Each structure stands twice: as C-alpha cells, then as structure tokens.
Chain A
Amino acid sequence: MNALNHTDHNKAVCIENLMVKYNETPVISGVSLNVESGDYLGIIGPNGGGKTTLLKAIIGLIPYASGNITVYGKKPGKLGRLISYVPQMTTLERTFPITVSEVVLTGTLNAAFKPFHQYTKSDKEKADELLHTVGIYKLKERMISELSGGEFQKMLIARALAVNPKLMLLDEPTASVDANARDQIFSLLNELNRHMTIILVTHDLSAVSSHVKTLACLNGKLVYHGVTELNEAVVNALYGCPIDLIAHGVPHRVLKMHEESE
C-alpha cells in the first residue's frame, strides 16, 4: 500500500458544489460528495431526484453547469477503464439482436478502433468466466430478447466487470428482480467491494441498511451523506412525507409516522 499518495488520489470520487441542468432547469444543485477508495456508497432518493443524472455526470455522459468532479484525480470523459457502469435497465433496447456473450464481450473493447477487430480467445475466456461469476453461463448463446429481467441485469453486471474497473456505478441493478436474484446480486457486490469501489443507486431501502457502508440521499440536492443510519428527519426531507422504512438489521421496524405536513 502506498499511503503517501496525494490525498485526491485516494478519493475515488470528489464532487464539489455540482450543478447539472437539463434545458436550463437545474436537476441537481449544490452537491458536494467525496467517495473514499474502497467505499460502498448507496444513493437513495425519490423518482426524479437526480440519481441517474449524478451517475451520468460522474461518467461524463452529460456535462455539468458548474462545480467540479474528479474520479481518481481525473476529469469525467477522460477516465479510461477506471470506471464502469450498469445502466438503469429501462433505458436499453431489450429486442436488439445480440447474444448474451456478445454483450459481455463489448466490455472488453478498447477505445482505439482496430480495423476488422475480432475478440481474442482470452477475451472470450474472460467473458465466460464473468458469466460464471454472475451465474448465467448456461444462457451465453441466448439472444438478449429471451432473457428475464433478472438475467438481463446479471448480464449487464458481467459486461461492466469486463472493463476491469476500479470504480463501479450501478443504477438500480435490483429493479424487477426476484428476491433470490436480488440476494445473489447483493452478495456479488459485497464480494466485489473487497477490491473495488462501488456506488449503488437503489430504491431498496432494506438492502441499503444491510449492505452499503455509506449512504447518500439525493432529492435535487444532497439531503444526507454519512453512515448508513436513516432517521425520520432525513427520510422526510428526502421523500417529502414519512414512509415505511425497514431499518438497520431490525426487520420491519417501521419509523414512527408523524402527522404534521410542511
């Protein structure tokens, strides 16, 4: 371990006073957030709270209006293979004519165009291994249109892993996934977190309380960032109204309802 590195380089992500706009409307503003290397950050927030927007800004898929983002000291869009991404599944074309293993193989593509590129034997072995890791190796020759939602998610995770990233961003990887697959995905993420930094967007509050190390709550602005402990005030600020919250390890401990409205 080289502890003498510049501090910024120990930070996986540094975000300072970030503002992102779509057509002049700010979607997130004033977001400052540091993610330590090795962290497992959970991001929660209501629909439209800007979670996907934040991930895309970190990757460099959308420009930001003001503020600053660095990932391991580098600017978004110039990250090489430091970072990988599991997109929100709803944004992809599920009928596209491509097989599972071809999708995973795209994760091995390099930035520079190589004429008549063919995947090498080691690319293919890597893809097979990753399909084993996520547990869908037997589906490798299937067309993606023939996958269930959970299998599709696992394929996207395998593709993201083919990049060999230091930082992995996942946007609701357990949406539309049954309880069993959900548990598999979370234990895989726990395993991965031993050697990579993870940022996970999820609506699954119970998973958040039992798996992630730190928590960020995003509703246009950063409502909370810190240890994984939700209290009523934060949840109110986040969702605008009290919600049932299954908290930390204690199953079905629901936060007390409170009557007054804002």
Chain B
Amino acid sequence: MLLSILQYQFIQNAIIASIFASIVCGIIGVIIVEKKLVMMSGGIAHTSYGGVGLGYFLGFEPIIGAFLISMLAALGICFIKRRGGTRSDVVIGLFWSLGMALGILFIALMPGYPPDLSSYLFGSILSVTRADLYLMAGVTLIVVLVISILFHYWKAYMFDEEFAYLLGIKTAWLEYLLFILIAMSVVVLIRVVGIILVLALFTAPPAIAERLTKSLKLRMIFSVMIGSVFCLMGLFASYIINIASGAVIVILAASVYLMVYIVTSVKKSMRIKKSC
C-alpha cells in the first residue's frame, strides 16, 4: 500500500519538502534551543503572518510580504535583544501579537472574498509545487553552508559569546546572521508546513536529540533525522485518516517528546535509587 502512495507526484513533493524542512529546522532548531531563542523565533514566525496579510491586501505574492516582514522582525528582535535590559521578552510578545493582528486586519480590509489563511498556520504540505521545492532547496543549502562554513565560530559564540567577542570574533555579525537565517527558514517553511509546524520542528527534534547525544554536531544530525521521521510518519497517517498533515505531525512530535521525557526521567530516578 505504501508503495502505491509513493507514485503520486504530490506525495513525492511532500516527502522531499518534509526532508528539507527537517534539515533546516534540525540545524537551526538546535541553535535556537541552546541559545534560548525559541520565544524570539516564535516572534519572527508569527510576525510574518502580518506580511502574508499585507501581501493579500496590496495584491502582491503573500510569501514576499512574509519575507519582508519577517526579515524586519528578525532584525528588530535581534536589535532589541542586543540592547538587552528593557524587558526584551515583553517587546517580543508584543511583536508576536501585533504581527498576527496586522495580518487579520489587512485580510479584513482586503476587497473581495477572504483567502483561506489556515494553510499559512498549518501548512499544506500536500500541495507543494515544484517552485516551492526549488525555493526550499535553496534555503536548505544556504543554512547548511552558513552553519558548516563557520561551525567552530558558531560553537564558540553559542558557548560563550563574551569570550568570542574578546577574541575579536564579530559576535554581533554572527547574531544578526543567525536571526536572518531563522527568518529565511521560517518564511520558506510556512507555506508548506505552517507557522505552527515550523515552531514544533524547531523545538521537538532538538529537545529529543538533547536527551540522546551530548555532541553538538550529532545533536543537529539526530534532530534532522528525528524531524524527518515525524514528518514522514505524519504524512502517511494524515493520508490514511485524512486529517491536516501539519496537525498530525505536531501531535506526533509532542507525544514522542513527552514519551522520551518520561522514559529518560524514570531511568534517571531509577539510577539514583539504585546508587542509594
């Protein structure tokens, strides 16, 4: 039965899209989880919704709007973070909801029949086009290259930013670059997997990988593999029970994380009991 599904072009596209999404999210996800930037990445992702609305309102491709707005949000959030102090989490929370609100406002003001925006929230992985795939391939390549070209510098920056600065490494530049990569990943992925799935793929695979390996590089590789497995299983399940793939994938990711969490915690407490 599995094989017969694989003949369909849209299923093939969906599988390739899942793998690209998992690569991007696995690599960037490990960094944002370690650097505690999940909230900020969520801010960028949700703010991009305003860009989607803007695109519909002004009549250009919504994904371009999402791109522009999320770049602005990324640079703004990075700037606020670097300024520090003034309750950056509050400002990011505001960005987050303002972006969504603007999206809704623009759509409401838009003449004519309102488009279905749920595909931007949950994605429509089964309607990925060839052009989407090329775009995703491009971004995946950029992310993989930028991270691996500067891998040791990223590591030094992630472990101790201040020491990296002392060495003369341009940490501000690295940080802005990271935020731009986050924004790029978000934009390319929301069309296919949706804002909500992007966040799930940013967090769940790295969080599970964290419990399986202690090396940063392996953590990234494991995250990519775990993400791919979630996506493929989710796709398959959604095909069979006919539910939005994004939702199935998120539910799968969250329940596996919970299970791994419980199992490793129980193991740990058993080890503690044994050693007593």
What is the interface of chain A, defined by CB distance below 8 A to chain B? 22-23, 56, 59-61, 80-81, 83-85, 87, 91-93, 96-98, 102-103, 105-107, 109-111, 113, 115-119, 143, 145, 159, 163
Contact = CB atoms under 8 A, between A and B. Distances in A.
A109 B152 contact: yes
Nearest to B30: A97
B215 interface: yes
Nearest to B219: A97
A113 B149 CA distance: 9
A58 to B, nearest CB: 11
29 contacts: A59-B166, A61-B162, A61-B165, A81-B168, A85-B162, A85-B166, A87-B162, A87-B163, A93-B34, A93-B159, A96-B34, A97-B210, A97-B213, A97-B214, A97-B219, A106-B152, A106-B155, A107-B163, A109-B152, A109-B156, A109-B164, A109-B169, A111-B168, A111-B169, A113-B150, A117-B150, A117-B151, A117-B152, A119-B152
Contact of B214 (A61, A110, A118, A145): A145
Q: How large is the interface on B (under 10, 10 to 19, 20 to 34, 35 or more residues)?
A: 20 to 34
B254 interface: no
B230 to A, nearest CB: 22
Nearest to A56: B162
Nearest to B150: A113
Contacts of A105: 152
Contacts, number: 85
A84 B166 contact: yes
Contacts of A117: 150-153
Interface in B146-184: 148-153, 155-156, 158-160, 162-170
B167 to A, nearest CB: 5
B98 interface: no
Contacts of B164: 106, 109
A102 B85 CA distance: 31
B72 interface: no
B232 interface: no
A117 B158 CA distance: 16
Nearest to B218: A97
B75 interface: no
B231 to A, nearest CB: 24
Contacts of A107: 163, 167
Contacts of A119: 152
Contacts of A61: 162, 165-166
A143 B214 contact: yes
B168 A106 contact: no
Contacts of B168: 80-81, 110-111
B216 interface: yes
Which 4 pairs between the two chains have the least Cβ-Cβ distance? A111-B168, A106-B156, A97-B216, A143-B214
Nearest to A162: B167
B181 to A, nearest CB: 15
A229 B170 CA distance: 42
A105 B155 CA distance: 11
Contacts of B216: 97-98
A115 B169 contact: no
Given A81-B167, A81-B168, A106-B163, 13 more contacts: A23-B86, A61-B162, A93-B34, A97-B34, A103-B159, A106-B159, A109-B153, A110-B167, A111-B170, A116-B148, A117-B151, A117-B153, A163-B166
Best-surrounded residue of B149, B163, B168, B216 (most CB of chain A within 10 A)? B163
Contact of A87 (B34, B153, B155, B160): B160
B166 A98 contact: no
A96 B158 contact: yes
A85 B151 CA distance: 23
Contacts of B150: 113, 115, 117
Contacts of B149: 115-116
Nearest to B158: A96
